[in-house]
Chains A and B, each alone.
Chain A
Amino acid sequence: MSTPGPAVASVAKPAAAVVGPGGELPIVSSDVSFVEIETLRSREFIPEAKEALSALVKEQAEGKLIRPVFNWAGRNSLFPLHWGLACCAIEFAAAFGARWDAERFGVVPRSSPRQCDLLIVNGTVTWKVAHKLIALYEQMPEPKWVIAMGNCATGGGPFRTAYSVVPGVDKLVPVDVYIAGCPPRPEALLDGILRLEALIRERGA
Protein backbone atom coordinates (compact mmCIF):
# COMPACT_ATOMS: atom_id res chain seq x y z
CA MET A 1 0.00 0.00 0.00
CA SER A 2 2.91 2.32 0.55
CA THR A 3 4.04 2.01 -3.07
CA PRO A 4 0.90 1.75 -5.18
CA GLY A 5 1.37 0.26 -8.63
CA PRO A 6 -0.64 1.05 -11.78
CA ALA A 7 -3.45 -1.37 -10.83
CA VAL A 8 -3.96 0.29 -7.47
CA ALA A 9 -3.84 3.70 -9.10
CA SER A 10 -6.68 2.76 -11.46
CA VAL A 11 -8.81 1.75 -8.48
CA ALA A 12 -8.82 5.38 -7.54
CA LYS A 13 -10.55 6.32 -10.84
CA PRO A 14 -14.27 6.57 -10.11
CA ALA A 15 -15.14 7.59 -13.68
CA ALA A 16 -14.15 4.23 -15.11
CA ALA A 17 -16.42 2.42 -12.70
CA VAL A 18 -19.46 2.26 -14.96
CA VAL A 19 -17.51 1.35 -18.10
CA GLY A 20 -15.51 -1.77 -18.85
CA PRO A 21 -11.83 -1.95 -19.73
CA GLY A 22 -11.11 0.33 -22.63
CA GLY A 23 -14.61 1.72 -22.41
CA GLU A 24 -16.16 -0.81 -24.83
CA LEU A 25 -18.09 -2.89 -22.28
CA PRO A 26 -21.12 -1.28 -20.63
CA ILE A 27 -21.54 -2.51 -17.09
CA VAL A 28 -25.14 -3.10 -16.03
CA SER A 29 -25.02 -3.07 -12.27
CA SER A 30 -26.03 -0.82 -9.47
CA ASP A 31 -23.23 -1.97 -7.17
CA VAL A 32 -20.50 0.38 -8.25
CA SER A 33 -17.75 -0.76 -5.94
CA PHE A 34 -18.26 -4.42 -6.93
CA VAL A 35 -18.18 -3.60 -10.65
CA GLU A 36 -15.13 -1.47 -10.14
CA ILE A 37 -13.11 -4.23 -8.53
CA GLU A 38 -14.24 -6.89 -11.02
CA THR A 39 -13.31 -4.84 -14.04
CA LEU A 40 -9.96 -3.99 -12.56
CA ARG A 41 -9.24 -7.64 -11.81
CA SER A 42 -10.21 -8.74 -15.31
CA ARG A 43 -8.11 -6.07 -16.86
CA GLU A 44 -5.02 -7.15 -14.94
CA PHE A 45 -5.77 -10.86 -15.11
CA ILE A 46 -5.87 -11.24 -18.89
CA PRO A 47 -2.29 -10.18 -19.67
CA GLU A 48 -1.00 -12.01 -16.61
CA ALA A 49 -2.79 -15.18 -17.62
CA LYS A 50 -1.52 -14.79 -21.16
CA GLU A 51 2.02 -14.46 -19.89
CA ALA A 52 1.73 -17.38 -17.48
CA LEU A 53 0.12 -19.63 -20.07
CA SER A 54 2.76 -18.86 -22.66
CA ALA A 55 5.43 -19.64 -20.05
CA LEU A 56 3.71 -22.95 -19.27
CA VAL A 57 3.48 -23.80 -22.94
CA LYS A 58 7.18 -23.00 -23.26
CA GLU A 59 7.97 -25.22 -20.28
CA GLN A 60 5.78 -27.96 -21.63
CA ALA A 61 7.86 -27.93 -24.78
CA GLU A 62 10.83 -28.73 -22.55
CA GLY A 63 8.85 -31.32 -20.59
CA LYS A 64 9.04 -29.38 -17.33
CA LEU A 65 5.33 -29.17 -16.74
CA ILE A 66 4.48 -32.86 -17.01
CA ARG A 67 7.65 -34.11 -15.34
CA PRO A 68 6.54 -33.50 -11.74
CA VAL A 69 3.33 -35.38 -12.48
CA PHE A 70 5.28 -38.34 -13.80
CA ASN A 71 7.62 -38.11 -10.82
CA TRP A 72 4.73 -38.19 -8.39
CA ALA A 73 3.07 -41.08 -10.20
CA GLY A 74 6.28 -43.03 -10.71
CA ARG A 75 7.63 -42.81 -7.19
CA ASN A 76 4.31 -43.96 -5.77
CA SER A 77 4.04 -46.99 -8.03
CA LEU A 78 7.47 -48.61 -7.99
CA PHE A 79 7.37 -52.01 -9.68
CA PRO A 80 10.24 -54.23 -8.51
CA LEU A 81 11.37 -57.25 -10.46
CA HIS A 82 10.14 -60.51 -8.95
CA TRP A 83 13.61 -62.03 -8.74
CA GLY A 84 14.88 -63.95 -5.72
CA LEU A 85 18.56 -64.76 -5.32
CA ALA A 86 19.11 -66.05 -1.78
CA CYS A 87 17.67 -65.93 1.73
CA CYS A 88 16.92 -62.19 1.47
CA ALA A 89 14.27 -63.22 -1.06
CA ILE A 90 12.35 -64.83 1.81
CA GLU A 91 12.19 -61.48 3.59
CA PHE A 92 11.36 -59.87 0.24
CA ALA A 93 8.44 -62.27 -0.09
CA ALA A 94 7.34 -61.65 3.48
CA ALA A 95 7.25 -57.91 2.83
CA PHE A 96 4.51 -58.49 0.25
CA GLY A 97 2.53 -60.78 2.53
CA ALA A 98 -0.46 -59.89 4.67
CA ARG A 99 1.52 -58.72 7.67
CA TRP A 100 3.65 -56.00 6.07
CA ASP A 101 1.77 -55.55 2.79
CA ALA A 102 4.19 -53.53 0.71
CA GLU A 103 1.50 -53.05 -1.93
CA ARG A 104 -0.03 -50.27 0.17
CA PHE A 105 2.97 -48.20 -0.97
CA GLY A 106 2.21 -49.02 -4.59
CA VAL A 107 5.04 -51.54 -4.74
CA VAL A 108 3.91 -54.45 -6.89
CA PRO A 109 6.43 -57.10 -7.97
CA ARG A 110 6.24 -57.89 -11.66
CA SER A 111 7.61 -60.96 -13.41
CA SER A 112 8.96 -59.26 -16.51
CA PRO A 113 11.82 -56.74 -16.46
CA ARG A 114 10.03 -54.84 -19.25
CA GLN A 115 7.34 -53.87 -16.73
CA CYS A 116 9.71 -52.93 -13.90
CA ASP A 117 11.46 -49.79 -12.82
CA LEU A 118 13.07 -51.13 -9.64
CA LEU A 119 15.62 -53.92 -9.31
CA ILE A 120 15.88 -55.25 -5.74
CA VAL A 121 19.03 -57.39 -5.59
CA ASN A 122 18.05 -59.66 -2.71
CA GLY A 123 20.89 -62.06 -2.10
CA THR A 124 24.36 -63.27 -2.96
CA VAL A 125 25.40 -62.47 -6.51
CA THR A 126 27.85 -65.01 -7.92
CA TRP A 127 30.02 -64.42 -10.95
CA LYS A 128 27.99 -67.07 -12.75
CA VAL A 129 24.77 -65.05 -12.39
CA ALA A 130 26.42 -61.63 -12.79
CA HIS A 131 25.85 -61.30 -16.52
CA LYS A 132 22.22 -62.38 -16.09
CA LEU A 133 21.77 -59.56 -13.57
CA ILE A 134 23.26 -57.05 -15.99
CA ALA A 135 21.02 -58.35 -18.78
CA LEU A 136 17.93 -57.99 -16.57
CA TYR A 137 18.97 -54.47 -15.59
CA GLU A 138 19.50 -53.51 -19.21
CA GLN A 139 16.08 -54.88 -20.17
CA MET A 140 14.30 -52.58 -17.71
CA PRO A 141 13.00 -49.33 -19.25
CA GLU A 142 14.23 -45.95 -18.06
CA PRO A 143 13.95 -44.45 -15.52
CA LYS A 144 15.06 -47.31 -13.28
CA TRP A 145 16.53 -47.73 -9.82
CA VAL A 146 18.44 -50.42 -7.93
CA ILE A 147 18.21 -51.39 -4.26
CA ALA A 148 21.01 -53.57 -2.85
CA MET A 149 19.22 -55.57 -0.16
CA GLY A 150 21.34 -57.22 2.53
CA ASN A 151 25.03 -57.51 3.22
CA CYS A 152 25.78 -59.83 0.30
CA ALA A 153 24.43 -57.50 -2.35
CA THR A 154 25.94 -54.49 -0.57
CA GLY A 155 29.49 -55.77 -0.21
CA GLY A 156 29.70 -59.54 -0.61
CA GLY A 157 28.76 -60.22 3.02
CA PRO A 158 30.48 -63.20 4.63
CA PHE A 159 31.58 -64.40 1.17
CA ARG A 160 33.48 -61.20 0.45
CA THR A 161 36.80 -62.87 -0.39
CA ALA A 162 35.30 -65.99 -1.96
CA TYR A 163 36.32 -66.93 -5.48
CA SER A 164 32.76 -67.19 -6.74
CA VAL A 165 30.97 -64.17 -5.24
CA VAL A 166 30.74 -60.61 -6.54
CA PRO A 167 31.93 -58.36 -3.67
CA GLY A 168 29.09 -55.87 -3.94
CA VAL A 169 26.55 -55.56 -6.71
CA ASP A 170 27.59 -51.93 -7.27
CA LYS A 171 30.53 -53.35 -9.22
CA LEU A 172 27.98 -54.38 -11.87
CA VAL A 173 25.06 -51.90 -11.82
CA PRO A 174 24.57 -48.43 -10.25
CA VAL A 175 22.93 -48.78 -6.83
CA ASP A 176 20.66 -46.10 -5.35
CA VAL A 177 19.82 -47.46 -1.88
CA TYR A 178 21.77 -49.92 0.27
CA ILE A 179 19.96 -51.88 3.00
CA ALA A 180 22.12 -53.45 5.70
CA GLY A 181 21.21 -56.67 7.48
CA CYS A 182 21.71 -60.39 7.14
CA PRO A 183 18.95 -60.63 6.09
CA PRO A 184 17.21 -57.28 6.66
CA ARG A 185 13.73 -57.47 8.13
CA PRO A 186 10.76 -56.53 5.93
CA GLU A 187 10.52 -53.24 7.83
CA ALA A 188 14.03 -52.41 6.66
CA LEU A 189 13.07 -53.20 3.09
CA LEU A 190 10.00 -50.95 3.35
CA ASP A 191 12.19 -48.23 4.85
CA GLY A 192 14.59 -48.59 1.94
CA ILE A 193 11.75 -48.31 -0.56
CA LEU A 194 10.41 -45.18 1.16
CA ARG A 195 13.91 -43.70 1.17
CA LEU A 196 14.14 -44.42 -2.52
CA GLU A 197 10.84 -42.60 -3.03
CA ALA A 198 12.26 -39.59 -1.19
CA LEU A 199 15.37 -39.85 -3.35
CA ILE A 200 13.31 -39.84 -6.54
CA ARG A 201 11.39 -36.77 -5.33
CA GLU A 202 14.66 -35.04 -4.51
CA ARG A 203 16.36 -35.87 -7.77
CA GLY A 204 13.31 -35.14 -9.87
CA ALA A 205 14.09 -38.00 -12.19
Chain B
Amino acid sequence: MNPEDVRTKLAAAGAPGIISIEPFEGVAARVKFDPTAATALFPIVRDALGFPHLSMVGGIDWVERYEVFYLVWSDPAKTYLLLSADLDAKAPHIETASACWPSANWHEREAWELVGIQFDHHPDLRHLLMPDGYQFHPLQRAFKLHEPEDLEVKVRHV
Protein backbone atom coordinates (compact mmCIF):
# COMPACT_ATOMS: atom_id res chain seq x y z
CA MET B 1 0.00 0.00 0.00
CA ASN B 2 1.40 3.36 -1.04
CA PRO B 3 0.16 6.94 -0.54
CA GLU B 4 -1.73 6.85 -3.83
CA ASP B 5 -3.70 3.79 -2.71
CA VAL B 6 -4.55 5.51 0.54
CA ARG B 7 -5.64 8.65 -1.32
CA THR B 8 -7.86 6.63 -3.70
CA LYS B 9 -9.50 4.62 -0.94
CA LEU B 10 -10.11 7.64 1.28
CA ALA B 11 -11.65 9.58 -1.64
CA ALA B 12 -13.83 6.58 -2.58
CA ALA B 13 -15.10 6.36 1.03
CA GLY B 14 -15.76 10.10 1.11
CA ALA B 15 -13.42 10.76 4.05
CA PRO B 16 -13.80 14.32 5.37
CA GLY B 17 -11.12 16.73 6.59
CA ILE B 18 -8.11 15.30 4.73
CA ILE B 19 -5.40 17.97 4.48
CA SER B 20 -2.51 16.07 2.93
CA ILE B 21 -1.32 12.53 2.21
CA GLU B 22 2.41 12.10 1.86
CA PRO B 23 4.97 9.31 2.06
CA PHE B 24 6.56 8.68 5.46
CA GLU B 25 9.35 6.31 6.38
CA GLY B 26 8.22 2.99 7.80
CA VAL B 27 4.49 3.47 7.19
CA ALA B 28 2.20 3.36 4.16
CA ALA B 29 1.51 7.09 4.31
CA ARG B 30 1.14 9.98 6.68
CA VAL B 31 -2.38 11.39 6.56
CA LYS B 32 -2.78 14.90 7.89
CA PHE B 33 -6.36 15.62 8.86
CA ASP B 34 -8.45 18.35 10.38
CA PRO B 35 -9.04 17.57 14.11
CA THR B 36 -12.69 18.62 13.86
CA ALA B 37 -13.26 15.74 11.37
CA ALA B 38 -11.80 13.09 13.65
CA THR B 39 -15.09 11.45 14.66
CA ALA B 40 -16.09 10.88 11.03
CA LEU B 41 -12.64 9.92 9.79
CA PHE B 42 -11.70 7.21 12.30
CA PRO B 43 -14.42 4.66 11.38
CA ILE B 44 -13.62 5.15 7.69
CA VAL B 45 -9.95 4.37 8.28
CA ARG B 46 -10.87 1.38 10.40
CA ASP B 47 -13.53 -0.15 8.10
CA ALA B 48 -13.08 1.18 4.55
CA LEU B 49 -9.26 1.15 4.56
CA GLY B 50 -9.02 -1.93 6.77
CA PHE B 51 -6.94 -0.79 9.76
CA PRO B 52 -8.69 -2.43 12.72
CA HIS B 53 -5.77 -2.24 15.16
CA LEU B 54 -4.61 1.01 16.80
CA SER B 55 -0.98 0.56 17.85
CA MET B 56 -0.33 3.82 19.60
CA VAL B 57 -1.45 7.37 20.19
CA GLY B 58 1.10 10.05 20.90
CA GLY B 59 1.38 13.76 21.33
CA ILE B 60 4.17 16.22 20.56
CA ASP B 61 4.61 19.78 21.76
CA TRP B 62 6.05 21.79 18.83
CA VAL B 63 5.79 25.05 20.85
CA GLU B 64 3.83 26.93 18.15
CA ARG B 65 1.40 24.00 17.77
CA TYR B 66 0.60 20.59 19.20
CA GLU B 67 0.52 17.42 17.17
CA VAL B 68 -1.42 14.27 17.96
CA PHE B 69 -0.74 11.15 15.92
CA TYR B 70 -2.32 7.72 15.62
CA LEU B 71 -0.41 4.69 14.38
CA VAL B 72 -2.80 2.07 12.99
CA TRP B 73 -1.97 -1.39 11.70
CA SER B 74 -3.54 -3.45 8.95
CA ASP B 75 -3.11 -7.19 9.29
CA PRO B 76 -4.04 -8.12 5.66
CA ALA B 77 -1.86 -5.38 4.16
CA LYS B 78 0.92 -5.89 6.74
CA THR B 79 1.52 -2.17 7.01
CA TYR B 80 1.13 0.79 9.33
CA LEU B 81 -0.66 4.03 8.60
CA LEU B 82 0.08 7.28 10.38
CA LEU B 83 -2.77 9.70 11.08
CA SER B 84 -1.67 13.10 12.27
CA ALA B 85 -3.48 16.28 13.28
CA ASP B 86 -2.20 19.71 14.30
CA LEU B 87 -3.85 21.21 17.37
CA ASP B 88 -4.05 24.70 18.73
CA ALA B 89 -1.22 25.53 21.13
CA LYS B 90 -3.47 27.49 23.48
CA ALA B 91 -6.01 24.76 24.19
CA PRO B 92 -5.08 21.51 22.41
CA HIS B 93 -8.08 19.22 22.23
CA ILE B 94 -9.45 16.54 19.91
CA GLU B 95 -12.30 14.06 19.97
CA THR B 96 -11.42 10.71 21.54
CA ALA B 97 -10.62 7.71 19.34
CA SER B 98 -11.60 5.21 22.04
CA ALA B 99 -15.16 5.01 20.67
CA CYS B 100 -13.69 3.64 17.41
CA TRP B 101 -10.59 1.82 18.67
CA PRO B 102 -11.00 0.81 22.36
CA SER B 103 -7.24 0.44 22.71
CA ALA B 104 -6.95 4.22 22.45
CA ASN B 105 -8.20 4.55 26.03
CA TRP B 106 -4.91 4.25 27.93
CA HIS B 107 -2.82 5.80 25.14
CA GLU B 108 -4.95 8.92 25.31
CA ARG B 109 -4.68 8.98 29.07
CA GLU B 110 -0.91 8.96 28.71
CA ALA B 111 -0.92 11.66 26.02
CA TRP B 112 -3.19 13.83 28.14
CA GLU B 113 -1.09 13.33 31.25
CA LEU B 114 2.35 13.89 29.76
CA VAL B 115 1.70 16.34 26.89
CA GLY B 116 -1.52 17.96 28.04
CA ILE B 117 -3.77 17.21 25.05
CA GLN B 118 -7.42 17.16 26.05
CA PHE B 119 -9.42 14.29 24.57
CA ASP B 120 -13.10 15.21 24.48
CA HIS B 121 -15.70 12.63 25.56
CA HIS B 122 -13.00 10.27 26.84
CA PRO B 123 -14.65 7.67 29.12
CA ASP B 124 -11.97 7.71 31.84
CA LEU B 125 -9.47 10.55 31.47
CA ARG B 126 -7.38 10.34 34.64
CA HIS B 127 -3.74 9.91 35.59
CA LEU B 128 -1.95 6.80 34.36
CA LEU B 129 1.77 7.12 35.15
CA MET B 130 1.78 9.95 37.67
CA PRO B 131 0.01 10.01 41.03
CA ASP B 132 -3.46 11.50 41.34
CA GLY B 133 -3.36 15.23 41.84
CA TYR B 134 -0.16 15.77 39.85
CA GLN B 135 -0.38 19.33 38.58
CA PHE B 136 2.01 19.35 35.61
CA HIS B 137 2.33 17.96 32.08
CA PRO B 138 6.02 17.06 32.15
CA LEU B 139 6.62 16.46 28.43
CA GLN B 140 5.57 19.98 27.51
CA ARG B 141 8.45 22.19 26.39
CA ALA B 142 7.60 24.79 29.02
CA PHE B 143 8.03 22.28 31.86
CA LYS B 144 11.22 22.84 33.84
CA LEU B 145 12.88 20.04 35.80
CA HIS B 146 13.04 20.87 39.47
CA GLU B 147 16.14 20.56 41.58
CA PRO B 148 15.55 18.01 44.34
CA GLU B 149 16.89 20.46 46.91
CA ASP B 150 14.03 22.84 46.08
CA LEU B 151 11.46 20.13 46.33
CA GLU B 152 9.10 20.25 49.28
CA VAL B 153 7.68 16.83 49.99
CA LYS B 154 4.48 16.63 51.95
CA VAL B 155 3.83 13.13 53.20
CA ARG B 156 0.35 12.17 54.29
CA HIS B 157 0.74 9.33 56.72
CA VAL B 158 -1.94 6.67 56.58
Chain A residues at the B interface, C-beta cutoff of 8 Å: 127-128, 130-131, 134-135, 138, 155-156, 160-164, 166-168, 171-172
Contact = CB atoms under 8 A, between A and B. Distances in A.
B24 interface: no
Contacts, number: 43
Interface string B137-148: 010000101111
Given A127-B134, A164-B130, A171 B143 contact: no
Given A131-B158, A171-B151, 8 more contacts: A138-B158, A161-B145, A163-B130, A163-B138, A164-B129, A166-B153, A167-B148, A168-B148
Contact of B130 (A127, A134, A138, A155): A127
A131 B146 contact: no
A135 B131 CA distance: 15
B124 to A, nearest CB: 17
Nearest to A172: B155
B131 A130 contact: yes
A134 B155 contact: yes
Contacts of B136: 163
A171 B153 contact: yes
Contact of B153 (A135, A160, A163, A172): A172
Contact of A163 (B145, B147, B157, B158): B145
B138 A160 contact: no
Nearest to B151: A167
11 contacts: A127-B131, A128-B129, A128-B130, A134-B158, A155-B148, A161-B148, A162-B145, A164-B130, A166-B153, A167-B151, A171-B151
A161 B158 contact: no
B157 A134 contact: yes
Interface residues of B, number: 17
Contacts of B130: 127-128, 163-164
Contacts of A127: 130-131, 134
Closest 8 CB pairs of A and B: A167-B148, A163-B138, A171-B153, A161-B145, A127-B131, A128-B131, A138-B158, A135-B158
Contacts of A163: 130, 136, 138, 143, 145-146
Contacts of A162: 145
Nearest to A127: B131
A7 B138 CA distance: 83
A163 B138 CA distance: 7
A130 B132 CA distance: 12
Contacts of A166: 153
B131 A161 contact: no
Contacts of B134: 127
A138 B157 contact: yes
A172 B151 CA distance: 13
A166 B151 CA distance: 10
A156 B155 contact: no
A103 to B, nearest CB: 31
B145 to A, nearest CB: 5
Given A127-B131, A128-B129, A131-B131, A164 B158 contact: no
A164 B155 contact: no
A130 B131 CA distance: 9
